[in-house]
Amino acid sequence: MTTIDRMTAATLPEIRGPLSAAVVDTLAGGRRDGFDPDAARGADPFGEDLQLALHVCYELHYQGFAGVDDGWEWDQRLLGFRATLEQAFLEGIRDAVPGGDDVEALLDGLLVEPVDGEGVSHFLRDEGEWWHVEEYFAHRSIYHLKEADPHSWVIPRLRGRAKAALVAVEFDEFGGGRAERAHSRLFADLLTAAGLSPDYLAYLDHVPACTLATVNMMSLFGLHRGLRGALVGHFAAAEITTAPSARRMDEALARLGGAAECRHFYTEHIEADAVHEQVMRHDVIGDLLDREPELTADIALGIQATELLENRLAEHLLNAWPAGETSLLRPLHPLP
């Protein structure tokens, strides 16, 4: 089963507060008078309203929205408002992580599995039901249908071995030159096989802020040259932690009778990311720090931010599912 790439753009999402209303209403009707920087500065940096507003702003740099003129991508007032949202989000991240510059210790820590085996992939492997898996797919669709795109922003910001090695990793992520093997296509095939929509951002109105934050972090780091070290740190953290969780997801899908296309997405990551881990750690980070040692703290920030936001998402999922509750803003189906 192969999903054909769809050209239909996503529709603008439903608003979640005054910040997202300012952005969505402006893009829908051309208003330019609803931006309130003070409201952005006082908002919850991880809240529904700010995260959706930021996600919509960032999406203008990716596939855009149906009926929204491409010229909005570089509108000065919208960019100014986005900068205020970004500042609040970045400050929220910095305040919530310990900081530091011991990159090796942070990377080593990612290799240590929790003794008690707690985590989303552990839950899905050991006791998850199919509706849990469907919800997990919906959460991850926000990133996986654009997989590796946010990391591409950092390529022109690197040099030498770091750039060449990161491009090699990205080449694998984009299917090694074969569209049907691109990881975003594999996830679309997964969604189709699972009976879910493979449309880009189909579940944007379903997922909560803790999901959007994991993707917004990538765009924030990728779109700012000054945060290139943080993007590299995030990318390395993602590659190190993906293979073990992908193995557990394959085991979960095998137990639940998941389709081959669903399992293939994860088995592909088991194989690929085990190699990518070493490339990112030694060739990308190693060379980048040799060239620009002043980026050490930023690389640490990227690693810690990834842990922070993934842990927030995991906590949300693992609070909802064992209680028999949906982890989405609106369930995909009536709950069993």
CATH number reported for the structural domain that contains residue 294 in this entry: 1.20.910.10
Q: What is the pLDDT of residue 273?
A: 64
At residue 221, does pLDDT exceed 60?
yes
Q: Are residues 71 and 186 in the same domain?
A: no
Query: Tens digits of per-residue pLDDT, 258-293?
Result: 999 999 999 998 877 677 888 999 999 999 999 999
What pLDDT band is residue 305 in, cutting at 50, 70 and 90? very high
Question: Does residue 77 lie within any of the structural domains?
Answer: yes
- State residue 247's pLDDT score: 95
Residue 10 pairs in a beta bridge with 65
Please check whether residues 48 and 190 belong to one and the same domain: no
For residue 336, is it within any domain? no
pLDDT of residue 66: 96
- Within a domain: residue 331? no
Are 136 and 263 in the same domain? yes
The rounded distance, in Å, linking the Cα atoms of 14 and 119 is: 30
What would the mean pLDDT of 194-200 be, rounded to a whole number? 97
Residue 281 is classified by DSSP as I
The pLDDT of 86-101, averaged and rounded, is: 97
Contact assessment for residue 39 and residue 83, using Cβ atoms and an 8 Å cutoff: no
Confidence of residue 6 (pLDDT cuts 50, 70, 90): low
Report pLDDT for 37: 85
Q: How many CB atoms lie within 10 A of CB 79?
A: 14
Same-domain status, 71 and 116: no
Residue 35 lies in a domain: yes
Measured CA to CA, the distance from residue 277 to residue 272 in angstroms comes to 9
Render pLDDT for 55-82 as a digit per residue (tens, 0 to 9): 999 999 999 999 999 999 999 999 999 9
Q: Both 196 and 251 in a single domain? A: yes
Do both 117 and 213 map to the same domain? yes
Of 96, 131, 162, which residue constitutes the final position of a domain? 96
**Which pLDDT score, from 0 to 100, does residue 336 have?**
79
Burial of 330 per CB tally in 10 Å (0-12, 13-18, 19+): exposed
Query: 111 and 65 in one domain?
Result: no
| 302 within a domain of the structure (yes/no) | yes
pLDDT of residue 57: 98
pLDDT at 5 over 60: no
Q: Is residue 123 a part of any domain in this protein?
A: yes
d(CA 318, CA 63): 31
The residues with which 3 forms a beta bridge, in sequence order, are none
| pLDDT score for 276 | 85
Mean pLDDT of 26-31: 84
Residues 145 and 243 in one domain: yes
Average pLDDT on 132-138 reads: 98
> Do 215 and 174 belong to one domain?
yes
More confident residue, 3 or 306: 306
- Do 304 and 184 belong together in one domain? yes
Same domain assignment for residues 306 and 283:
yes
Write down which residue in 96, 127, 149 finishes a domain: 96
Lowest mean pLDDT among 9-18, 35-44, 136-145: 35-44
Tell which of 69, 96, 123 closes a domain. Answer: 96
Report, as an integer, the average pLDDT of 288-307: 97
In a domain, 71, yes or no: yes
Mean pLDDT of 173-186: 95
Number of domains making up the chain: 2
In this predicted structure, what is the pLDDT of residue 335?
Answer: 81
Whether residue 137 is found in the same domain as residue 229: yes
Q: Which domain holds residue 86?
A: 18-96
What are residue 65's DSSP bridge partners?
10
Question: Residue 263 falls within a domain, yes or no?
Answer: yes
Q: Residue range 94-99: average pLDDT?
A: 97
Average pLDDT in the chain: 93
